[in-house]
Chains A and B, each alone.
Chain A
Amino acid sequence: MSPAIEKHLNLLDYALSSLWRRKLKNLGITLVFAAVIFLVASFQFLTSSLTATADVLLAEAPEIVVQKMTGGRQESIPVSYLNRLEKIFGIRAAVPRVWGYYFNETTGANYTVLAVDRSEMPGGHQLEYAIDGKAPVDGQGEAALGREVAADLKLGKRRKFSLFRPDLSLKPFNVSGIFSESTGLLTADLLVTGLTEARDLFAIPDHFSTDICVYVANPNEISTIAKKIADRLPDTRVLTRPQIRKTYQVVFGWRSGFASICLLTALAAFVILAWDKASGLSAEEKREIGILKVLGWQTSDILVLRLWESLAVSGVAFLLGCTAAFVHVLYLDGSLFKPIMVGWSVIKPSLDLLPVFAAGDLLLIFTISVLPFMAATVIPAWRCSTVPPDSAIK
Chain B
Amino acid sequence: MRPSNLFFLIVILVLMLDGAIIRQISSKKEVYRDNGHISNIVTAALGLTDLCLSTEARYTRHPAVSDPIAPFMDHPGAIEHFPSGSFWAVAENRP
Listed in ascending order, the chain A residues whose CB lies under 8 Å from chain B are 9, 12-13, 16-17, 20, 50, 53-54, 56-62, 65, 67, 72-74, 95, 97, 101, 109-110, 112, 114, 116, 118, 121-124, 126-127, 129-130, 146, 179-180, 182-190, 192, 211, 213, 237, 239, 243-244, 246-248, 250-259, 261, 312, 315-316, 319-320, 322-323, 326-327, 330, 337, 339-347, 349, 351, 354-357
Contact = CB atoms under 8 A, between A and B. Distances in A.
A95 B91 contact: no
Contacts of A319: 11, 14-15, 18
B35 A121 contact: no
Nearest to A53: B51
Contact of A342 (B40, B43, B54, B67): B54
B49 A58 contact: yes
Given A124-B45, A130-B38, A247-B64, 14 more contacts: A13-B4, A16-B3, A59-B43, A62-B49, A110-B61, A118-B45, A184-B52, A185-B53, A244-B64, A248-B51, A252-B88, A323-B18, A340-B84, A344-B83
B9 interface: no
Contacts of A259: 87, 89
Give the interface size bracket for B toward A: 35 or more
Interface in B39-79: 39-58, 60-65, 67, 69, 73
A67 B47 CA distance: 14
A320 B14 CA distance: 8
24 contacts: A12-B3, A20-B3, A53-B51, A62-B49, A118-B46, A126-B41, A130-B42, A185-B53, A186-B39, A186-B43, A189-B55, A239-B65, A254-B89, A255-B90, A319-B14, A323-B14, A323-B17, A326-B21, A327-B21, A330-B25, A339-B83, A344-B56, A344-B84, A356-B25
B39 A250 contact: no
A356 B25 CA distance: 7
Lowest 3 CB-CB distances: which A-B pairs, in order?
A343-B84, A343-B83, A60-B44
A213 B43 CA distance: 12
B83 A256 contact: no
Nearest to A351: B53
A95 B82 CA distance: 33
Secondary structure of the B contact surface, majority rule: helix
A123 B44 contact: yes
Given A237-B95, A343-B60, A61 B48 contact: yes
Nearest to B53: A341
B56 A57 contact: no
B29 A354 contact: yes
A283 to B, nearest CB: 25
A62 B22 CA distance: 34
Contact of A246 (B18, B25, B89, B91): B91
B64 A349 contact: no
B56 A110 contact: yes
B42 A179 contact: yes
Nearest to B21: A326
Given A355-B29, A357-B25, A256 B89 contact: yes
Given A13-B4, A53-B51, A344-B82, A252 B89 contact: yes
Nearest to B80: A257
A13 B28 contact: no
A17 B3 CA distance: 7
B15 to A, nearest CB: 7
A58 B43 contact: yes
